[in-house]
Amino acid sequence: MNFATFMAFLSENGGLMFALCGGALATLLSGIGSAKGIGIVGQAATGLVNEDPDKFGKSLILQLLPGTQGLYGFVTTIIILTKVGLLGGTTPSLATGLYIFMAALPVGFVGLLSAIAQGKTAAAGISILAKRPEHVMKGVLYAVMVETYALLGFVASLLMILFIK
């Protein structure tokens, strides 16, 4: 393939390729973070639930929290797929595809890192549940504070994607 052929291909298909790469990163990175965060809490909760099975419900609340980042990435990808014409709409230009790619990065990277941090925080909340079950909501609140930054990344990505012309 010569350079002119490559440039013609990139001009015709590059927008869609970059947009789909952005959508893939949004889901992959935030999903990896959520899986890691949920795993961290699950490991901490397993010992507690083994000793006191009645605390399963409260520990499950803490374990579910890091999963939201994966959901944010997935929703972002669905919106991207709609915008680029796979689920409706028109195929993007190269510039638009690059814009979409860049707009998907906040939810991906913030989701990855915040889900892991939230998992560690929620795992620490498991120790509150073990020793002082009446104070478990304090552990939940600490973990929810990390969620704030996941939401900021999600909203930033959504606003950028929705307002790309």
Q: Is 4 within a domain?
A: no
In angstroms, the CA 131 to CA 8 distance is 65
For residues 25-29, give the mean pLDDT.
Answer: 98
Write out pLDDT tens, residues 38-74.
999 999 999 999 999 999 999 999 999 999 999 999 9
CB burial readout 97-115, b (16+ within 10 A) else e = bbbbbebbbbbbbbbbbbb
Q: DSSP labels for 24-80?
A: HHHHHHHHHHHHHHHHHHHHHHHHHHHH-GGGHHHHHHHHHGGGHHHHHHHHHHHHH
Q: Which residues pair with 84 in a beta bridge?
A: 89
pLDDT for 87 equals 74
pLDDT for 18 equals 97
Mean pLDDT of the chain: 95
Q: Is 148 within a domain?
A: yes
Q: Is 12 within a domain?
A: no
Q: DSSP labels for 81-145?
A: HHHBTSSSB-PPPHHHHHHHHHHHHHHHHHHHHHHHHHHHHHHHHHHHHHH-GGGHHHHHHHHHH
pLDDT for 88 equals 66
Question: Could you tell me the CATH number of the domain that includes residue 97?
Answer: 1.20.120.610
Q: Is 39 within a domain?
A: yes
pLDDT for 9 equals 86
pTM of model > 0.85: yes
Q: Is 6 within a domain?
A: no
In angstroms, the CA 59 to CA 153 distance is 26
Q: Is 77 within a domain?
A: yes
With H, G, I as helix, E, B as strand and everything else as coil, classify residue 21: helix
Q: Is 15 within a domain?
A: no
Domain total in the chain: 1
Write out pLDDT tens, residues 90-115.
789 999 999 999 999 999 999 999 99
pLDDT for 10 equals 84
Name the band, by pLDDT with cuts 50, 70 and 90, for residue 138: very high
In angstroms, the CA 72 to CA 12 distance is 30
Contact between 140 and 146 under an 8 Å Cβ cutoff? The reply is: no
Name the band, by pLDDT with cuts 50, 70 and 90, for residue 123: very high
Domain that holds residue 148: 33-162
Contact between 82 and 3 under an 8 Å Cβ cutoff? The reply is: no
Q: Is 59 within a domain?
A: yes
Name the band, by pLDDT with cuts 50, 70 and 90, for residue 89: low
